[in-house]
């Protein structure tokens, strides 16, 4: 029997965007089980707590089978080992993503060769989108409804009511 593909899609997801969600839904076609894993205790001060980000991810992926939402701290490859994952999934939007993604993939391979990094290309529709841009537009009063899932929009509006 061929190996089951247990893939981890790691990230900050602060917040989840439609680009992330598109990648998650396309990844379910190739992975037998997909673990969307939020990095806890990152150096950067997040806009949303890990618990909030987990809630939003769960709500936005509730319609997808074989998708699990979790969080982790420490090395990604250690988390992959703990979860018996054989792949790390990352999205690439443009050439500008390539360099850092290559660096991470090679480092992770050196740390744990059993875990393969798999890249999916972001849909062209979302290739300009990032969590950082969504936050900037939102806090400058712009409409982010085309860029984030409904669960995220709702949470952004209720957490920061002075904005849209």
Distance CA 125, CA 18 (A): 10
Burial of 83 (0-12, 13-18, 19+ CB in 10 A): middle
To the query of whether residue 93 is one of the catalytic residues in this protein, the response is yes
To the query of whether residue 63 is one of the catalytic residues in this protein, the response is no
User: Which residue from 8, 11, 46, 85 is in contact with ligand PNS, where contact means CB under 6 A?
Assistant: 11
CB of 115 to ligand PNS, least distance (A): 11
- Asked if 104 is part of the footprint of ligand PNS (rule: CB under 6 A), the reply reads yes
| Total residue count of the chain as it appears in this document | 164
Joined tokens for residue 148: 């984030």
Site for ligand PNS in 21-40 (CB under 6 A): 39
CB of 13 to ligand PNS, least distance (A): 7
Q: Which helix (H) or strand (E) holds 119?
A: strand 116-121
Distance CA 111, CA 22 (A): 29
CA torsion angle for 8, 9, 15, 21 (degrees, to 10)? Answer: -120
Residue 95: other Cβ atoms inside 10 A: 7
- Asked if 108 is part of the footprint of ligand PNS (rule: CB under 6 A), the reply reads yes
CB of 151 to ligand PNS, least distance (A): 18
- Asked if 106 is part of the footprint of ligand PNS (rule: CB under 6 A), the reply reads no
Residue whose CB is nearest to ligand PNS in the complex, by number: 11
To the query of whether residue 82 is one of the catalytic residues in this protein, the response is no
Binding mask 44-83 for ligand PNS (x = CB under 6 A): -------------------------------xx-------
Eight-state DSSP code of residue 14: T
**Catalytic residue ranges:** 20, 44, 93, 131
Which residues form the interface with ligand PNS (CB under 6 A)? 10-12, 39, 75-76, 104, 107-108
């Amino acid at each position: 029997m061929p190996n089951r593909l247990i893939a981890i899609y790691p990230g900050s997801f602060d917040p989840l965007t439609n680009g992330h969600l598109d990648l998650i839904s396309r990844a379910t076609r190739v992975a037998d089980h997909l673990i969307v894993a939020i990095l806890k205790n990152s150096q950067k001060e997040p806009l949303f707590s890990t618990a909030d980000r987990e809630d939003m991810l769960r709500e936005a992926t509730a319609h997808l089978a074989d998708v699990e939402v979790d969080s982790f701290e420490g090395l990604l490859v250690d988390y992959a080992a703990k979860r018996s994952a054989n792949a790390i999934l990352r999205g690439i939007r443009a050439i500008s993503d390539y360099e850092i993604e290559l660096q991470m993939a090679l480092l992770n391979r050196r740390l744990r060769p059993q875990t393969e990094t798999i890249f999916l290309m972001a849909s062209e529709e979302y290739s300009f989108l990032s969590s950082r841009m969504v936050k900037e537009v939102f806090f400058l009063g712009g409409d982010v409804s085309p860029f984030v899932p409904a669960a995220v929009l709702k949470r952004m509006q209720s957490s920061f009511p002075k904005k849209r």
